[in-house]
Amino acid sequence: MRTLNSRASFARRNGTSAATPDGGMPHATAAPPHPLTMLEGRVRKILRIVESGTTFTTRDLALEIHLSPSYLQRLFKHQTGVCMGEWLNEQRLQRAAHLLASSHMSVKEIAHTIGYEHASSFIRAFERRFTQAPARYRKQSEYAKC
C-alpha cells in the first residue's frame, strides 16, 4: 500500500502536483516512481518495513533481506530511481513531523525515536528539510488545528 507521502513524491517527480489532506503543500518524499506491484519483492519488503514506522539503517535492511548494503542500495536505486539513503532520511523526517504535530514527546525523544543519536543533528536535518525548527513546526501545527 502506498502512502500519501509516496504519492506526493511520485507526483513531484513526474511534474504533477498532489495536495495533502490538510490542503497544504505535499511533503517531498523520495519514493518509488513505479507502481508498487512492479517492484521486485525484496524492494517491496523494504518499503513495507520502513513504512511500518520501525527505524532501520541501510545495513539493518540489507541484513534483513540477506544482501550486502552496497548491493541493496544499487538495487533500490535501480528499481525506484531514488537513492536509498535519501529516501530513508526523508521517511524519518516525515515521521518526526507527524510526531511533532500529534504527540507531546519532546524534540529529544522524537530524535531518538526516529534514529538520531544526537538531538542537535536531528534539529539541523529537520530545519534543512522543513525550513523551520521542530519546536516552531509543532507550534504551527497546533495553530492549524484551531
**Nearest-angstrom CA–CA distance, 76 and 53:** 19
Burial pattern 54-93, b for ≥16 Cβ within 10 A else e, equals eebebeebbeeeebeeeebbebbeebbebebeebbbbbbb
Task: Extract the C-alpha cell encoding 26.
Answer: 505535499
pLDDT band for 23, please (50, 70, 90 cuts): very low
Question: How confident is the model at residue 54, as a pLDDT?
Answer: 76
Average pLDDT estimate for 1-5:
43
The region that residue 15 occupies, defined by phi over 0 for left and psi between -120 and 50 for alpha, beta otherwise, is: left
Q: Which amino acid is at 37?
A: T
Angle (nearest 5°) at CA 64 between 59 and 37: 110
Q: pLDDT, tens digit, for every residue of 48-85?
A: 888 887 778 899 999 989 999 999 999 999 998 999 99
Question: How confident is the model at residue 1, as a pLDDT?
Answer: 40
**Nearest-angstrom CA–CA distance, 86 and 44:** 17
More confident residue, 17 or 101: 101
Average pLDDT, the chain: 79
Task: Extract the C-alpha cell encoding 51.
Answer: 513504512
Q: Which amino acid is at 60?
A: D
Question: How confident is the model at residue 98, as a pLDDT?
Answer: 95
Is the per-residue pLDDT at 33 higher than 80?
no
**Nearest-angstrom CA–CA distance, 63 and 56:** 11
Is the per-residue pLDDT at 13 higher than 90?
no
Q: pLDDT, tens digit, for every residue of 78-110?
A: 998 999 999 999 999 999 999 999 999 999 999
Question: How confident is the model at residue 35, as a pLDDT?
Answer: 52
Is the per-residue pLDDT at 26 higher than 70?
no
**Nearest-angstrom CA–CA distance, 1 and 64:** 20
